[in-house]
């Protein structure tokens, strides 16, 4: 079992106070975050009640840190199996089943043997049963069209999809930074004054 200190990761925010990534959530171990504080690369935004000590100092462990220098986000997400799953919200694009990652695979909508390419526009998330049922055939032949037309997502779209899959452990000090940029529901009776 992990000690309280070992189980004290820090949420890492960019200089604009948004997480570097939502899925996987940008977390650093307590050792990495303490080192970054001493190297003056981050600002401490929030702290745990836990402390670390050495003979010459004592410090509360950071629970949220913000980078001092802004890190530009990638404009184009990498074409990876995981990002395909994330784009498709971990849902089979044929039957609509939502499954754990180990139970998912990907399918070439137009099979490779028929000239289909391995690209954002031709690969979709599929469960094993649907992948086997479709096999090496065209979607029209087996009447299995993807629920969503596959396309290259933006980094922003993947971040938004990732926000729907938080980790099992969310420290209270992280919540404001994970959801502060969510769109708020507007009260229909809210009347805005005109100037």
pLDDT above 90 coverage of the chain, percent: 57
Q: Please say whether the beta carbons of 133 and 156 come within 8 A.
A: no
pLDDT given at position 169: 57
Q: How far apart are CA 120 and CA 77, in angstroms?
A: 10
pLDDT given at position 166: 53
Residue 83 has pLDDT above 80, yes or no: yes
Q: Which residue would you say has higher pLDDT here, 161 or 37?
A: 37
**pTM (2 d.p.):** 0.60
- Cβ partners under 8 Å of residue 162, min gap 6: 21, 22, 23, 24, 86
Question: Is residue 133 classed exposed, middle or buried when 0-12, 13-18 and 19+ CB atoms within 10 A define those classes?
Answer: middle
pLDDT given at position 12: 94
pLDDT band at residue 191 using 50, 70 and 90 as cut-offs = very low
DSSP letters of 29-69?
Answer: -HHHHHHHHHTT-EEEEEEEEEEEE-SS-EEEEEEEEEESS
Q: Which helix (H) or strand (E) holds 108?
A: strand 104-108
């Amino acid at each position: 079992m992990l000690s309280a200190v070992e189980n004290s990761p820090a949420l890492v925010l960019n200089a604009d106070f948004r997480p570097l990534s939502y899925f996987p959530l940008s977390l650093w171990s307590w050792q990495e975050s303490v080192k970054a504080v001493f190297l003056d690369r981050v600002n401490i935004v929030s702290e745990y009640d836990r402390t670390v000590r050495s003979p010459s100092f004592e410090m509360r462990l950071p629970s949220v840190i913000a980078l001092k220098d802004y890190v530009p986000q990638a404009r184009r997400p990498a074409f990876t199996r995981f990002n395909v799953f994330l784009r498709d919200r971990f849902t089979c694009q044929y039957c609509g089943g939502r499954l754990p990652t180990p139970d998912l695979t990907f399918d070439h909508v137009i099979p490779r043997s028929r000239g289909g390419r391995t690209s954002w526009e031709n690969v979709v998330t599929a469960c094993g049963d649907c992948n086997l049922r479709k096999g090496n055939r065209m979607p029209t032949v087996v009447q299995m069209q993807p629920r969503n037309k596959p396309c290259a997502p933006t980094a922003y779209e993947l971040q938004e999809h990732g926000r729907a899959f938080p980790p099992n452990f969310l420290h209270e000090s992280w919540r404001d930074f994970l959801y502060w940029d969510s769109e708020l529901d507007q009260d229909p009776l809210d009347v805005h004054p005109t100037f």
